[in-house]
Structure 1
Amino acid sequence: MAFYRYIRTGFWQDDFISELTPEEKYFYLYLMTNLKTTQCGIFILVKKIAEAELGYSRETIEKLLKRFVEYGKIAYSEKTNEVMLLNWMKHNFSDSRNTVLCINKELKVVKNKEFITTMYKVCLDNDYDVKKIFKGIDIKGISIEDKEETLEDEEGPCKSLEKKEIEKEKEKSSSKNNITKKNNNEKSIKKILSEFNKKICKATSRDKEKLKSWRRYFEEDVIIAAINEAVKYKARHIGYIETVINNWKELGLTTMEKLKEHRKKPDIGDNSCNAAAYEYVD
């Protein structure tokens, strides 16, 4: 099985990166692409291996680790030799089932529990599905399942009768709205799926799962626009579409209005990926 770590082409023009020394840029790239890296962005850095692969002395590696901790780009544990890339999930997360399962499996073997807590906060801030990502994982002595129960019981058992009645009315209204939203969402998914089948290929169950997950964040027309990007650049593959989608999500282009406004900006273009530069492995 092949493993890939994607680095955005805008990496080199990032304000932070442009201020680094060549030595620091090389080291940062190594942290993001070495063989020990993981989907969750937390991994064990074997300094002896890093010395051999980078050609740096142990002293230089330790100096660079300390420097990037000070820059606020990584967290490092001397006790467990684990590195956490603090912005990794923000730029590389995908809510596909396989990715979430992979992250969950990796987090279960992370030794530094402070990294787990930090990761939990990152996922909350970015509205990721913490229930699935942290399933069976203890966070500050409370498992994710127990944490949900605690939140539900915070108000105590003695709710007033009036409050209960108000909640019942809200539930009825919410139920009606949910049915309407569900019907509209199903129609939307069918339209997206139709476009995918027509322009890309017949969707597999895995393709359908991804299309549905994207609909949680994006308007229907934005996903169809991503499909059209794949057609435009002759990259008719779900992997290419996902790269475009992740790029737009990072830029906050979740609606057609935002996408159109973004495309109007000079010298930006449509931020599409170079299809010829990628090979996808199913």
Structure 2
Amino acid sequence: MARYRQIYIEFWQDGFVLDLTPEEKYFYIYLMTNSKTTQCGIYELPKRIIETETGYNRETVEKLLQRFVEYGKIAYHEPTKEIMILNWIKYNWINSVKVLSLINKELNEVKNIEFIKLFIQNCKDYGYRIDTLSIPHLDEVEEKKQKPSNDGGSMPYQYPMDSPSIDLGEERELEREREEEREEEQEREQEVVQEVIQFWDDNGFGYNNIEGKTQLLSWLDDSQFPKPKEMILKAMNIACSSNKRYLKYVEGILRNWENESLLTVSEVEQREVSRRNGQPKKMNYNPTKDRF
């Protein structure tokens, strides 16, 4: 499955980036776009992987990692091989139910508790809502890690004695398959989000309009009438054709389709054909002057 990472074109004019060496610029982009990156900006990245993907030797990798730690751009935890891009969420936060669900899963897989604490603090500093995230109480996690077992280290048997026998190998295989299915589904959802954002950015709806993007993506997650990606792209295409590239116009189109119970692009196109063939009434998109 293809995945995408967004780099703002202002990256090259950033004062910090302008002062970097070509080697540092290459490495910084690598840290933000490599195959291990996540939506939350915290991911496991062993140095041997960095060597393989960048072509640098171990000495150069360690030198560059330390340099960006000193620059205050990343944190690296050697015991868990995890890296955190400190300002990642500032430029990559999307308040979508599906994206937040993905972030929630990623955070619960982070091994370094301090990184989770720092992520939560960054969200608070930027004013991002995190009440939908379900992260284990960090103090309890640390307490469990430090608290010795009462029975000399033995673990309690998790099944009652009269339960049927369980094939642990089969159970692990089923769990692995379920996990792969969940990951594939999350990647598909992320691709949908990225495709909508890419269309928005490429067609003049406002590259830096994060609020507008977030509002548009909420149509994918509507609890009563979620819209498929194709419907949203179709509405945006109509807005482009009418030279009305703003959120309210696109939402007006989507609401009209919702009111007419049009659920697919095919149904929309059939309705358009019917109207051209004998129903001259045009769809009223009811755009307003309010724009994001």
The TM-score, its normalising length taken from structure 2, stands at: 0.51
Change over 3 Å in CA distance of 1:236–1:15 after alignment to 2: same
* Pairing of 1:3-14 with structure 2 (within 5 A): 3-14=3-14
User: SS where residue 123 of structure 1 aligns?
Assistant: helix
Query: Which residue is equivalent to 2:135?
Result: 136
1:62 partner amino acid: E
Alpha-carbon deviation of 1:141? 3.4
CA distance, structure 1, for counterparts of residue 55 and residue 244 of structure 2: 38
Q: Which runs of 4+ in 1 moved over 2 A?
A: 136-143, 203-210, 227-238, 256-259
Alpha-carbon deviation of 1:139? 2.7
**Could you report, residue by residue, the CA deviation over 1:243-263 in whole angstroms, capped at 9, with x for unpaired residues?**
xxxxxxxxxxxxx9998xxxx
Alpha-carbon deviation of 1:207? 3.8
In structure 2, runs of 5+ residues without a counterpart are 143-215, 224-235, 251-288
* Pairing of 1:1-282 with structure 2 (within 5 A): 1-133=1-133, 135-141=134-140, 206-207=219-220, 209=222, 231=240
User: SS where residue 122 of structure 1 aligns?
Assistant: helix
Change over 3 Å in CA distance of 1:108–1:13 after alignment to 2: same
User: SS where residue 68 of structure 1 aligns?
Assistant: helix
CA distance, structure 2, for counterparts of residue 204 and residue 129 of structure 1: 16
**Could you report, residue by residue, the CA deviation over 1:83-106 in whole angstroms, capped at 9, with x for unpaired residues?**
000011111010101100000000
User: SS where residue 56 of structure 1 aligns?
Assistant: coil
**Could you report, residue by residue, the CA deviation over 1:206-243 in whole angstroms, capped at 9, with x for unpaired residues?**
34749xxxxxxxxxxxxxxxx799627989899xx9xx
Change over 3 Å in CA distance of 1:70–1:232 after alignment to 2: farther
User: SS where residue 7 of structure 2 aligns?
Assistant: coil
User: SS where residue 132 of structure 1 aligns?
Assistant: coil
Change over 3 Å in CA distance of 1:123–1:204 after alignment to 2: closer
CA distance, structure 2, for counterparts of residue 72 and residue 137 of structure 1: 27
CA distance, structure 1, for counterparts of residue 6 and residue 13 of structure 2: 16
CA distance, structure 2, for counterparts of residue 66 and residue 139 of structure 1: 27
CA distance, structure 1, for counterparts of residue 291 and residue 62 of structure 2: 43
In structure 1, runs of 5+ residues without a counterpart are 144-202, 211-226, 242-255, 260-282
CA distance, structure 1, for counterparts of residue 69 and residue 129 of structure 2: 28
**Could you report, residue by residue, the CA deviation over 1:53-109 in whole angstroms, capped at 9, with x for unpaired residues?**
111011100111111001000011011110000011111010101100000000001
CA distance, structure 2, for counterparts of residue 205 and residue 114 of structure 1: 31
CA distance, structure 2, for counterparts of residue 23 and residue 120 of structure 1: 32
Change over 3 Å in CA distance of 1:228–1:110 after alignment to 2: same
Alpha-carbon deviation of 1:126? 1.8
User: Which is bigger in relative contact order (C-alpha 8 A, separation at least 6)?
Assistant: 2
**Could you report, residue by residue, the CA deviation over 1:170-228 in whole angstroms, capped at 9, with x for unpaired residues?**
xxxxxxxxxxxxxxxxxxxxxxxxxxxxxxxxx99834749xxxxxxxxxxxxxxxx79
Larger Rg: 2
Change over 3 Å in CA distance of 1:58–1:208 after alignment to 2: closer
- Give me the CA root mean square deviation: 3.6
